[in-house]
Amino acid sequence: MPEPAVEMLHITKIYPDGVVALRDVDFVVYKGEIHGLLGENGAGKTTLMRILYGEIKPTKGEIRIFGKKVKFRGPWDAIKHGIGMVYQKFTLVPTFTVIENLHLSHLAINPKATISETRKKAEELMETVGLKVPLDTVVEDLPIGVQQRVEIIKTLLRDAKILILDEPTSVLTPIETEELFKTLARLKELGITVIFITHKLKEVKRVTDRITVLRRGRKIDTVETAKVTEVDLARMMVQREIVLKIEKKPAKPGRIALVIEDLWVRDERGIDAVKGVSLELREGEILGIAGVQGNGQRELAEAIAGIRKIYKGRIKLYDKDITRFSTLERYRNGLAYVPDSRAVGLVLDMSLRENVVLTNIYRILGKLGYLDWGKGDEIARKVVEELEVVTPSILTPVKYLSGGNQQKVMVGREIVREPQVFIVAEPTQGLDVGATEFIRKMLVKLRDEGKAILLISTDLDEILQLSDKIAVIYEGKIMAVGKPEEFTLEKLGLLMGGVHAE
């Protein structure tokens, strides 16, 4: 029987707002293994790891590290017990050199260390682990892959015996990923335990010894990697019963409303996020883009809305080429975009009326830029009536509305503009069952009225319920497009994990 490094037993996490993130999860990692933690968005992977790292406290449950029962008050306690975490977003000081960053974190466990001691220790460590990093280069001048190596060395310098990597390959190029895998193998030889959070099936299959699959806050199983196939993993990850059923007439697709041709878009860091996406959207149809978060969905939506620069490709709205149109021109030409974040779509400190005006401003505009708030009142009242928004007044700041009502404002202000094409991203994220159903029915109703709807969602249930056609996106590429009947859950799971099924 291998010796366990981490034992998390009966872990339950209920947030103050009643959301159950984890339900009675047992998670055991053996010493010296590479353990994959697999699951969709919202499965609870990150929550579980943040509990292990002491960032949040479990509502119930017990944690043992190397057999010793522990209670962490914060990450500093976890660090003392030899746990290290490498986040997707690095925690390095960008304007410091590598050695300065290492020294900074080294001081946390060894306050008397001098920078030359840190350097000596770091050099020895790089020698044993076989990781090479230029110590005197400023961090922001280094490629992302090298920065990640610095993060790993940083945790090892703190004598980490258990290393948690949160989606480590999501920021890396294929070559950098290969390098990372070599490093992981080397760490394993040195007896370091690695927990590898991911949703990429190929990678988890390739590098791990065992895999734990989470789904909706529950543990599905822990399996030995050698004994399962990618198909098994995909099934475990996505298998579900559909809870909500929505009455839906068969779609009557009409004219082609939106055409996207070979679209290329970069993210904030200048890395390609959308790589040659081509799609066709018809009137009276909901095209669902399925995929795990961070696979280029937001960049795709923003590029269509004109918020993000397109550096290659074309977008056509009916007969018009809108590739070079500004955001406002696109909106005025019949495009609507409901973003995935209410913090973006709404100005929380402003009133409902002012938020409705945000995308309707051209409709209340008078001479010399004068805004006719009387007309604004009318539009706002229409949104409140049609979408059944519960609010004391149209002058109430939207920050006082519930999430569901906020979402209704975001969707409603687009509907009253009567556009032809809707880009809707994560329309029901964080909403309760009632609000979710309302929004979904609204989308179906719009489809029946002949609107073209591009639904971008990481919620597979939503995609399956609403879509007349599904496209799966993975790492900025469309893996497959087809009717819902053409996909099994398993196949969707594989595609979302980057594996072409056959």
Partner 1 sequence: MPSKDGFFQKLRARFRARAQDYGMAALEVFLSAAIGFLAGALALLVLGYDPLKVYEVLFSWGYTDIGYLLLKSTPLIMTAIAFSIPALAGVFNIGGESQLYVGALLGLLVAYYIHNAPLAIVAAILGGAGLGLFIALLRVYRGINEVITAIMVNWIMYWLLAYLVTGPFNNPKLPQQSVPVPKSAQIPVFSIGGVNIAGSFILAVIGALVIYYIVFYTKTGYIMRVSGLSPASAKYAGFSPEKAILTSMLIGGAAAGFGGALLVLGDVHSIDTTLSAVYGLGFTGIGIGLLGRNNPIGIIFAAIFFSGLLIGGQYVELFLNAPPNLSDFLIGVIVIALSIPYAYRFIISWIKRRRMAK
Could you tell me the smallest distance in angstroms from the CB atom of residue 331 to partner 1?
6
Binding track, positions 408-427, relative to partner 1; x by CB under 8 A:
--------------------
3-class DSSP assignment, residue 400:
helix
Binding segment toward partner 1, per CB under 8 A, in 242-250, 394-402, 454-462, 469-477: 394-402
For residue 321, the SS3 value is strand
Cβ contacts of 376-380, under 8 Å, gap ≥ 24 = 377/353, 379/413, 379/416, 380/352, 380/353, 380/356
**Contact call for residue 305 and partner 1 (CB under 8 A):** yes
Question: What is the Cα–Cα distance from 126 to 321, expressed in whole angstroms?
Answer: 54
Q: Shortest approach of partner 1 to residue 457 CB, angstroms?
A: 18
Which residue from 227, 245, 368, 502 is in contact with partner 1, where contact means CB under 8 A? 368
Cβ contact 36:204 at 8 Å: yes
Tokens of 73: 């008050």
Stretch that binds partner 1, among 56-64, 281-289, 357-365, 467-475 (CB under 8 A): 357-365
If the CB atoms of residues 177 and 360 are measured against partner 1, the closer one turns out to be 360
Triad 389, 441, 293: Cα angle to 5°: 95
Shortest Cβ 284–partner 1 spacing (Å): 27
Interface residue with partner 1, options 374, 434, 485, 502 (CB under 8 A):
374
347 binds partner 1 (CB under 8 A): yes
DSSP 216-264: TTEEEEEEEGGG--HHHHHHHHH----------PPP---SEEEEEEEEE
| Residue 157 vs 171, nearer CB to partner 1 | 171
Distance, CA of 81 to CA of 77 (rounded, Å): 7
Query: Does 357 interact with partner 1 (rule: CB under 8 A)?
Result: yes
With CB under 8 A as the contact rule, the residue among 20, 93, 307, 481 that binds partner 1 is 307
Q: Among 339, 404, 427, 476, which residue interacts with partner 1 (rule: CB under 8 A)?
A: 339
| Using rule CB under 8 A, residue 144 touches partner 1 | no
CA distance 287 to 279: 9
Name which of 335, 373, 152 is nearest 258 in CA terms. Answer: 335
1 makes contact with partner 1 (CB under 8 A): no
Site residues for partner 1, 467-486, by CB under 8 A, read: none
Which residues of the chain form contacts with partner 1 (CB under 8 A)? 305-307, 326-328, 330-331, 337, 339, 341, 343-351, 354, 357-359, 361, 365, 368-371, 373-374, 392-397, 400
